Amino acid sequence: MVSGGVCERCGSTNDVVSFNIGKEKHELCIDCRVKFLGRPSIGVTKKVSVTLSQDDWDWVDKQGSRSEAFRNLVRNARNHNNQS
C-alpha cells in the first residue's frame, strides 16, 4: 500500500491509502475507508491526545498526515530497537 495521495471520494489528504479491490485501484482517506469498507484496512485506530511544542507540531504536520507521521515514528523506533 502507498500512502500520501488524495482521497478519490472527498479529496481529503487525511491518512489516504491506495489499495486494490479486485482489479480496481482505489485511494481513500481514513473517513471514507471506514464509511465504505466498514473499518480501516491498516489496523486498530485509537485516539490520542499529545502535547508537543509548536515547533514539533510544525514538523509533524510537514510529514503528510499526523497519523502517518505517528506510524512512521513507531516503525522507526521499533526498527531501531531491533538493531541494538
Does 12 help bind Zn ion (rule: CB under 5 A)?
A: yes
State which residue, 10 or 52, has the beta carbon closest to Zn ion: 10
Which residues, other chains included, contact 27 with Cβ-Cβ below 8 Å and sequence gap of 6+? 5, 6, 7, 8, 16, 17, 18
Cα 67 to its chain centre, rounded Å, is 5
Among 15, 17, 32, 65, binds Zn ion (CB under 5 A): 32
| CB nearer to Zn ion: pick between 36 and 57 | 36
- Binding interface with Zn ion (CB under 5 A): 7, 9-10, 12, 29, 32
